[in-house]
Structure 1
């Protein structure tokens, strides 16, 4: 672009900024005007967008999804552990010798246990939740 197609401005710079501008402009082929135009353009562009969102938004969204999945997995583990402990200490009587019939009963109980965990996870019921949370 030719100089007559541009608008001239005068501005005042603090001494430290003027020194930095002179250092950068000391390189061959670099004009102070070009440096200031580029800096002003970058600043004005950045004002129209949220730089942090542009830089980290996608990454933060992915991390939020991953944390949600981890939370869901932890909830499944807690539900499973809760039901397992409940069955072990409240529902199951001790078997004297594990024979074929006892193993069959054990497999049946385990299958029912897994089905119950699945039902509770599907309904969103949380037996470990505090009473105030469960009432919601």
Structure 2
């Protein structure tokens, strides 16, 4: 059947260019385009591939979201714990503490760089290990109505009480020897 249609100049130019390709002609291109437009269910293979990709991306984003939540909770709990148990240093010990801190930080950065370069992911490794050793750990908390990370860490009575300066009492710097874990 012969049908006359009007095309915009830009579409007409692209149709002419496409028809110049080997095995192409204007009628076949227009027929295929109209068929696809009028029967969208005929192109389900392309849609299915797109849906599979979107599903994969959704799962990946879910994993990233979980890893980010675990990382944020870990850092927050560590900072709260560190700030709770660390007494202030006397002025005479601060220079030595800063030097030790810089040294430890350089070691920490080197370990992170090594881990990233090797493709290792500590959060994923820890989550996999927890899932293998105690698979219902997180499920039980959600069923009981608590969210992951909602429980308070064990804080002993000594760290709960505060002295007149508002600081939590803790061991003296000399009593903290051997607690040099990074």
TM-score, normalization by structure 2? 0.38
Using the size of structure 1 for normalisation, the TM-score is 0.48
